[in-house]
Each structure stands twice: as C-alpha cells, then as structure tokens.
Amino acid sequence: MTKMGFEKDRRIIADYNAQPGWAVVGGKRYYFRSKLERRWAQYLEFLKTQGAIWDWFYELTKFEFEKIRSGVVFYTPDFEVWDDENTQLFHETKGHLHQKDITKFRRMQKYYADEVLVLVMQSITKKNKVRVAQAAQYIERVIEGGKILRKMGF
C-alpha cells in the first residue's frame, strides 16, 4: 500500500482518541481537530447565549515568532474569547501536553506578553501534572475542562 500522507493523522486519532471532524456550533460549521475542541466550542456558545461572554472565534488569530529560525515559528490558539468586559483571551485545549506546547506558551509570553492565554486540559492526571506545572508559569490559568464539560452535559 502506498503512503498518502494521512498516516500521521491516523496515529494521532488512534493514540489520543482525537476524533477530528465537522460540527455545527452556534449555527456555523467548523472542522475541529479533536472532540475536546468541539465540546469546548459548545460550552463557549452556551456561555455566549447566557451573556457570560460576548463572543468566541475558532482559530482566528495566528502569531509568528519572527526571530525564531527553527522549531515552533507560528502559533494559532484554538479559541479567541471576548468576555463581557470586552477583554480578549486565548483558550488552548489540550488532552495531552507535549514539550512543543510548552515552547509555544513560553514564546508567546516572550514575544506577545500582553496576550492572555488560558490552558484548557481534558484532565490533569499524575502523568501530565509536571508538564501542566511547567506550562502554568507561562499562561494566565489552567482549567480542567473535562470536569466542566461533563457537569454541563457536553
């Protein structure tokens, strides 16, 4: 069988149960890279309808780390969220944290210090606690999103 370039995506789905696909949230159609992203979008839409946030956008803003020659050069947060006080936040959803994710957060703090990052983890386990602690020094806060989503029924 010839390789067609999809093998890496299959591995991600098999390893992490990412379940990418299309979904309609708030009357708009999006292609989410994971089930957690889709569920978090549904939660943000709920917050919007309740007036807790003004609006949210999926993968709208792309940041470039201009002086970096290798490794992570670009970063696109999963969600741009505008709260009811018209404050912009960036939410990054993660089931598993990798070292390159922490590198993105560190570079965001260095090059875009005024931007507010929020890390939404599926769950915080013993296995990922160390990496979450490393990431926490570069972001505004960490949310254990899985608990919130289960409680809300998403």
User: 3-class SS at 152?
Assistant: helix
Q: How many domains does the chain have?
A: 1
Place of tokens 């505004």: 140
| Boundaries of domain holding 114 | 35-152
Is the C-alpha dihedral spanning 75, 60, 134, 85 positive or negative? positive
Q: What is the pLDDT of residue 2?
A: 45
In a domain, 17, yes or no: no
Query: Going by DSSP bridges, is the β-strand pair 79-83/88-94 parallel, antiparallel, or unpaired?
Result: antiparallel
Q: What is the 3-state secondary structure (H, E, C) of 49-81?
A: HCCCEEEEEECCCCEECCCCCCCCCEECCCEEE
In a domain, 122, yes or no: yes
**Local confidence pLDDT in tens for the 154 residues of the chain:** 344 454 454 444 444 567 899 999 999 999 999 999 999 999 999 999 999 999 999 999 999 999 888 888 999 999 999 987 889 999 999 999 999 999 999 999 999 999 999 999 999 999 899 999 999 999 999 999 999 999 999 9
In a domain, 47, yes or no: yes
In a domain, 27, yes or no: no
In a domain, 70, yes or no: yes
Q: What is the pLDDT of residue 25?
A: 96
CB–CB of 79/94 below 8 Å? Answer: no
In a domain, 125, yes or no: yes
Q: What is the pLDDT of residue 17?
A: 66
CB–CB of 20/32 below 8 Å? Answer: yes
Which tokens belong to 136? Answer: 């926490």
Q: What is the pLDDT of residue 84?
A: 79
In a domain, 144, yes or no: yes
Q: What is the pLDDT of residue 13?
A: 43
* Domain of residue 75, CATH code: 3.40.1350
In a domain, 18, yes or no: no
